[in-house]
């Protein structure tokens, strides 16, 4: 057996074990008994220990040194395995296992604190997560990742080659146009009316399943469950989605579902030849978010698709508080300075991300401590959104990310929006009659284009290269900003 064949066979087993670890996480968030949390923490720590040992096995280094790639895909696999090998070797086994144990327990503690609006219940655990994350970032930085910066070293795990400096510069370019658009929209004379009424959970879930089907979700390789914070999990032939239900706000359920379908169909759309290899998953979280965000927003909130959804909601729920399909389109895209990121309109969403990004950077190098995080959040939110946070669940406790140590993840949401803006412009140019299909509840022409241009490649190309190949242009924030201004100025008659 050649060194390359031995390396890939070994990696296949490691990838399979990682999928099992992911399934434990899915189970914890959906159906695990509440009393099993402590045991699950030990289980997660144990499997992480096994994975860390495999990922740092000296044989991997030997195979990497001797392996000769048979083709470009093999060369890219060697590159990705080598990168992961160096990252894992930089993190001590003790730290990797303890990080897995603490973050597994932290998820349940965060959920309890969020339900009780009790920041104090969560802060001691968050202190541990932040301390472990800082230690991990410092270990990676010392090994040369992130250019020696601890936060950049963590960010590099989610968006390779991105830096906090480059993201901050992009945010600085975006912020003036976003703020100007927000001020113009919020000052408009005739805002859309909100949707009112009660929408039963069972009927919401039924329509959510129809929406997932409309966007091409393969039910033979997936499932839909409820979770406190919607997410998708898995790859290959098992990519699952979750949603949540608020009976007074069906859009929460519907658009969370479409968003997670975007993630899942990316994983399910990857070329089967890459199954259980480093190429068999999304190349970065920014590219991943480009899929979920374009499904949710440019497609799911389009005039054509909301026209179809309006009819479906009438059929499922009876009369709605919004009469015409055009008014329904305006309501779906209603702009308001709400508290919750996952429910934010397209105008405000990136401002939520910019705030979290700045708070994260302060935690990792700007003198902000966990004990002061709630005050820092509330002060910044009031400044940016003009509204005082009314309760912790609407503020610092709203997102699951920090409880599980996902520092550096938040900026990839806006990167995803930027990538989605580029992809949408290219998609519309290639599919001029797309609205005809969307108007009948069929998103498959668009999702098929995305599968061919983006999803099937998995990790074969670098993130920016994926977008450039699909769009014939380097990624830029301009298409997103142009799209937002054109859409919302029309909706609000500006």
Instruction: State the catalytic residues.
Output: 260
Residue 212: how many CB atoms within 10 A of its CB?
A: 23
Q: Angle, nearest 10°, between helix axes 346-365 and 119-142?
A: 70
Q: Closest by alpha carbon to 417, among 293, 303, 236?
A: 293
Supply the DSSP symbol for 317. H
Q: What is the signed CA dihedral for 103, 115, 29, 291, rounded to 10 degrees? A: -90
Structure tokens at 169: 């510069």
- Sign of the dihedral through C-alpha 57, 62, 65, 67: negative
CA distance 91 to 136: 6
How far, in Å, are 151, 230, 235, 456, 475 from residue 281 at the CA level?
Answer: 24, 20, 6, 10, 21
Over the Cα atoms of the chain, what is R_g?
22
Distance between CA 246 and CA 354 in Å, rounded?
27
H/E stretch holding 239 reads strand 238-243
**In sequence order, what are the residues at sequence separation of 6 or more whose Cβ sits closer than 8 angstroms to the Cβ of residue 88?**
52, 55, 56, 96
Angle of helix 478-491 relative to helix 346-365, nearest 10 degrees?
Answer: 140
User: In this structure, is the dihedral angle defined by the CA atoms of residues 60, 65, 66 and 68, taken in order, positive or negative?
Assistant: positive
Task: Identify the sign of the CA torsion 211, 214, 215, 219.
Answer: positive
CA angle 267, 467, 22 (to 5 degrees): 25
From residue 458, give the alpha-carbon distance in Å to each of 18, 19, 270, 453: 17, 16, 5, 11
């Amino acid at each position: 057996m050649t060194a390359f064949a031995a390396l890939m066979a070994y990696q296949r087993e490691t990838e399979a074990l990682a999928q099992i670890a992911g399934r434990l996480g899915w189970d914890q968030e959906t159906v695990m008994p509440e009393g099993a949390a402590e045991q699950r923490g030990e289980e997660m720590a144990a499997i992480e220990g096994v994975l860390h040992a495999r990922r740092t096995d000296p044989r991997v280094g030997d195979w990497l040194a001797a392996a000769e790639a048979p083709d470009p895909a093999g060369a890219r696999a060697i590159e990705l395995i080598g990168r992961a090998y160096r990252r894992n070797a930089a993190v001590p086994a003790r730290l990797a296992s303890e990080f897995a144990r603490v973050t597994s327990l932290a998820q349940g503690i965060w959920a309890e604190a969020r339900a009780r609006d009790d920041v104090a219940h969560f802060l001691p655990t968050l202190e541990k997560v932040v301390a472990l994350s800082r230690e991990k970032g410092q270990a990676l930085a010392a090994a040369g990742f992130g250019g020696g910066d601890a936060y950049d070293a963590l960010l590099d795990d989610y968006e390779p080659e991105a830096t906090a400096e480059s993201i901050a510069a992009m945010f600085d370019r975006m912020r003036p146009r976003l703020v100007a658009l927000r001020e113009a929209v919020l000052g408009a004379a005739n805002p859309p009316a909100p949707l009112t009424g009660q929408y039963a959970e069972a009927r919401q879930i039924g329509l959510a399943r129809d929406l997932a089907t409309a966007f091409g979700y393969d039910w033979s390789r997936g499932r839909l469950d409820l979770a406190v914070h919607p997410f998708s999990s898995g790859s290959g032939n098992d990519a699952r989605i979750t949603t949540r239900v608020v009976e007074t706000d069906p859009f929460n359920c519907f658009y969370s579902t479409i968003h997670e379908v975007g993630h899942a169909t990316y994983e399910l759309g990857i070329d089967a030849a890459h199954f259980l290899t480093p190429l068999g998953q999304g190349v970065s979280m920014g590219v991943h978010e480009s899929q979920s965000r374009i499904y949710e927003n440019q497609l799911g909130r389009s005039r054509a698709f909301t026209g179809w959804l309006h009819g479906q909601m009438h059929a499922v729920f009876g009369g709605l508080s919004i009469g015409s399909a055009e008014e329904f389109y305006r309501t779906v895209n209603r702009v308001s300075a709400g508290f919750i990121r996952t429910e934010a309109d397209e105008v405000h969403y990136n401002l939520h991300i910019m705030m979290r990004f700045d708070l994260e950077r302060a935690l990792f190098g700007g003198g902000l401590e966990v004990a002061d995080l709630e005050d820092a959040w509330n002060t910044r939110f009031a400044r940016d959104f003009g509204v005082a946070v009314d309760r912790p669940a609407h503020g610092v406790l709203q997102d699951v990310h920090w409880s599980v140590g996902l520092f550096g993840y938040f900026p990839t949401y806006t990167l995803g929006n930027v990538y989605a803006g580029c992809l949408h412009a290219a998609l519309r140019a290639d599919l001029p009659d797309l609205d005809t299909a969307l108007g009948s509840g069929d998103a498959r022409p668009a999702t098929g284009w995305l599968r061919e241009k983006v999803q099937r490649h998995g990790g074969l190309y670098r993130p920016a290269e994926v977008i450039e190949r699909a769009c014939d242009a380097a990624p830029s924030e301009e298409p997103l900003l142009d799209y937002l201004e054109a859409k919302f100025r029309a909706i609000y008659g500006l």
